[in-house]
Structure 1
Amino acid sequence: MRNLVLGLDTSNYTTSVAVTDAQTKEILADERVLLTVKPGEKGLRQSDALFQHWNNLPELLERVLPEYGARIAAVAASDKPRAQEGSYMPVFTAGVNAARMLAAQCGAQLVFCSHQEGHIRAAAYGSDVDPDAGETILAAHLSGGTLELVLRNADGTCSVAGGTKDISYGQLLDRMGVELGYPFPAGKSIDDLACSYAPEGLKNPFSRVFTQKTYLNLSGLETQLKSAIFDTGLTGEAAAYFAMERIAESFCTIADEALAETGASRMLVTGGVACSRFLRNYCKDKNYVFGDARLCSDNAVGVSLFGGARCR
């Protein structure tokens, strides 16, 4: 019986392949590999990331196709960052072209969605948020290069409801981590440092993040962090804790404002930064729905689930 969906996602820093059951939505396979960033560097050029995706995809597909290939009914891939006109990033062409070849070979249906849609679907998995219920979903997409509050409509289109005016939380944490000597991406390292530190009544030395309704600016906090690390001798643990405190505080400010403005009862939170233990603990009393931490970071599960919802 051909009832499975193969999902592919080739984002800026992760190559992902997943298989789900179109009928039961069971996750049968979730394979990923992080792209390699040279020590001391703070990212990858699109051409370098694309090259790595093409090298990674065969290995990941070899892990899943021998067992599930004969039952593939649809192949789904993320083809752009967001479900908005003009949204484009070269890295996604790796997954798109691989999906086209696989669908043709398998005689399977071919489905495309945005990377952001995949994040929303993956985060909603296992919760009572249903992307196919015909309702508008208010979601926060917090990842390495994205800090957006979006209204995801019943037809899958999205409109921006808030976010950053400059850099994202992920960029701030990655840059901070690299400055402290951690490999890129450094978000988890900073989160671990923050969770291990006890402030013992010390006042946060960083100014509050500037917010205006549902938008914020993080460049000021980045400047303060650089000064603290290089000029004041603040320990890495303390810098991480106080930076995460300002990040969590600012997120709650714009998220609560978005809830009030839209009239939504809750907010779905996804993206790599949503894996943060510090952020989750800080927000534990809020009307936020955090997805399973493993399904918040870049993956192809949500893309595969989207394909299952569209599978004929």
Structure 2
Amino acid sequence: MLCLGIETSCDETAVALVENGRLLGQRLASQVDVHALFGGVVPEIASREHLRVLPGLYRALLEETGVRSEAVSCIAVSRGPGLLGALLIGLSFAKGLSLAIGAPLVGVNHLHAHLLAAGLERDIPFPALGLLVSGGHTHTYAVHADHDFRLLGRTLDDAAGEAFDKAAKRLNLPYPGGKLIDDLASGAEPDHGMFPRAFIDNDSLDFSFSGLKTAVVNHVDAHPHLALPSLAGPEALAPEVRAELAVVCASFNWSVADTLRIKTERALRRVPEAKALIVAGGVAANSMLRATMAELAGRNGLELVLPSPSLCTDNAAMVACAGERLARAGFYHGLDLEAVPRGRKVPLDWVGLGA
């Protein structure tokens, strides 16, 4: 089976071809430089950029792989959650292509696709516990099959990735600042008492990072010399200030990672049958989080399933991978498939159910 994946949920435009679980090729256009001018993603600009580059990316992918449109078996597209205008661009392109070449359509839950992304690199043992950590979501799932995800815990306010972005913005780090925080943190030991581990003194599996974000803002307000000069990089700081900033970043990094550890270990008690721990999403590229989850999985006798860093960020390869798995199980959608913006539950509204 040859599946085309289309991703336009936020600020990355991507198309990919996956055949029988193997990635044939991917084309991606990042909008980071465009949105960096505004310190974050501007939805209207994101939609216009998707519209501008998507057809060209598709043509380039076919040329690169030598695949003809008529050879595509199914078309998988991110249908949500995400920015509504951005999702509609990808969805409209997918529907038009489906009509043109006669390939069936598969709407993919963007969050589930993240958790299945590692399936392009290795087998994923089920049942598993899934931890999804991205800019907009921090969720845990009991995952029993490619199409069987049961939500255990969710973001109540700021997701972990959003906390990284807002902390970086207050420090005046260039957008996106999460990787810069991780890079700076690698050169320092964290102060475990500097920032709180938010919303852990309870038995809930839900996440809240707004308090941690506020603590960082208050710390920088009290130590304004830590904020970088406008349009400057960390190298512009005096060595002693940069060393102090590195401790702040390491302490913030540790607070996020340890909060996720506590909640994930708590979730594991709800899924005692789990054979593996899947960690995915943009923040799963964070070095401290990867090390923390490796220790947690080893201590609990679980396989750790971590996608390569290139598969952690938004991409079409994961959409094609998830779409092919759904199509093989007989799950498709009609042309009435709707986009689902962030904040709404993505429905299980497949047609032509297989097994």
Q: TM-score, length-normalised on structure 2?
A: 0.77
Cα deviation 1:138-184 (Å, max 9, x = unaligned): 21111111111123453725332013322111101011112222232
Classify the secondary structure of the residue corresponding to 1:286. Answer: helix
The offset of 1:266, in angstroms, is: 3.0
Gaps of 5+ in 1: 82-86
Looking at structure 2, the residues matched to 168 and 64 of structure 1 have their Cα atoms a distance apart, in angstroms, of 33
Classify the secondary structure of the residue corresponding to 1:165. Answer: coil
Whether contact under 8 Å (1:79, 1:92) holds in the other structure is: yes
Classify the secondary structure of the residue corresponding to 1:144. Answer: coil
Paired letter, 2:78: S
Q: Which residue of structure 1 aligns with residue 39 of structure 2?
A: 41
CA RMSD of superposed structures (Å): 2.2
Match status 1:286 vs 2:296? yes
Classify the secondary structure of the residue corresponding to 1:6. Answer: strand
**Higher mean Cα deviation, 57-66 or 6-15?**
57-66
Match status 1:75 vs 2:75? yes
**Structure 1 segment 164-183 matched on structure 2, within 5 A:** 164-183=155-174
CA 1:298 to 1:88, structure 2 compared with 1: closer, same or farther past 3 Å? closer
The offset of 1:38, in angstroms, is: 4.1
Classify the secondary structure of the residue corresponding to 2:121. Answer: coil
Looking at structure 2, the residues matched to 19 and 158 of structure 1 have their Cα atoms a distance apart, in angstroms, of 24
Which of 208, 232, 244 is matched with 2:197 structurally? 208
Q: Which residue of structure 1 aligns with residue 4 of structure 2?
A: 6
**Higher mean Cα deviation, 49-58 or 208-217?**
208-217
Aligned length, in residue pairs: 296
Cα deviation 1:3-38 (Å, max 9, x = unaligned): 4221101121211111111x3x21111222222314
Whether contact under 8 Å (2:10, 2:83) holds in the other structure is: no
Q: Which residue of structure 2 aligns with residue 65 of structure 1?
A: 62
Q: Percent identity?
A: 27
Whether contact under 8 Å (1:43, 1:184) holds in the other structure is: no
Whether contact under 8 Å (2:9, 2:80) holds in the other structure is: no
CA 1:128 to 1:12, structure 2 compared with 1: closer, same or farther past 3 Å? same
The offset of 1:305, in angstroms, is: 1.6
Looking at structure 2, the residues matched to 59 and 189 of structure 1 have their Cα atoms a distance apart, in angstroms, of 31
Q: Which residue of structure 2 aligns with residue 110 of structure 1?
A: 105
Whether contact under 8 Å (2:198, 2:208) holds in the other structure is: yes
Paired letter, 2:27: E
**Structure 1 segment 1-312 matched on structure 2, within 5 A:** 3-21=1-19, 23=20, 25-35=21-31, 36-45=34-43, 47-66=44-63, 67-70=66-69, 71-81=71-81, 89-129=84-124, 135-154=126-145, 156-199=147-190, 202=191, 204-211=193-200, 212-213=202-203, 214-232=205-223, 233=225, 235-263=244-272, 264-287=274-297, 288-309=304-325, 310=327
CA 1:153 to 1:94, structure 2 compared with 1: closer, same or farther past 3 Å? farther
Whether contact under 8 Å (1:209, 1:220) holds in the other structure is: yes
Cα deviation 1:227-254 (Å, max 9, x = unaligned): 2223135533221100000011000000
CA 1:90 to 1:136, structure 2 compared with 1: closer, same or farther past 3 Å? farther
Looking at structure 2, the residues matched to 115 and 179 of structure 1 have their Cα atoms a distance apart, in angstroms, of 29
Looking at structure 2, the residues matched to 274 and 144 of structure 1 have their Cα atoms a distance apart, in angstroms, of 11
Looking at structure 2, the residues matched to 240 and 272 of structure 1 have their Cα atoms a distance apart, in angstroms, of 18
The offset of 1:100, in angstroms, is: 1.2
Whether contact under 8 Å (1:117, 1:303) holds in the other structure is: no
Paired letter, 2:22: E
The offset of 1:88, in angstroms, is: 8.1
Paired letter, 1:39: L
Whether contact under 8 Å (1:229, 1:239) holds in the other structure is: no
Whether contact under 8 Å (1:80, 1:115) holds in the other structure is: yes
Classify the secondary structure of the residue corresponding to 1:19. Answer: strand
Whether contact under 8 Å (1:40, 1:183) holds in the other structure is: no
Paired letter, 1:171: E
Paired letter, 2:24: L
Cα deviation 1:211-240 (Å, max 9, x = unaligned): 133123222211110122231355332211
Cα deviation 1:41-100 (Å, max 9, x = unaligned): 23323x33211211121231122122223432221111122xxxxx98332111111111
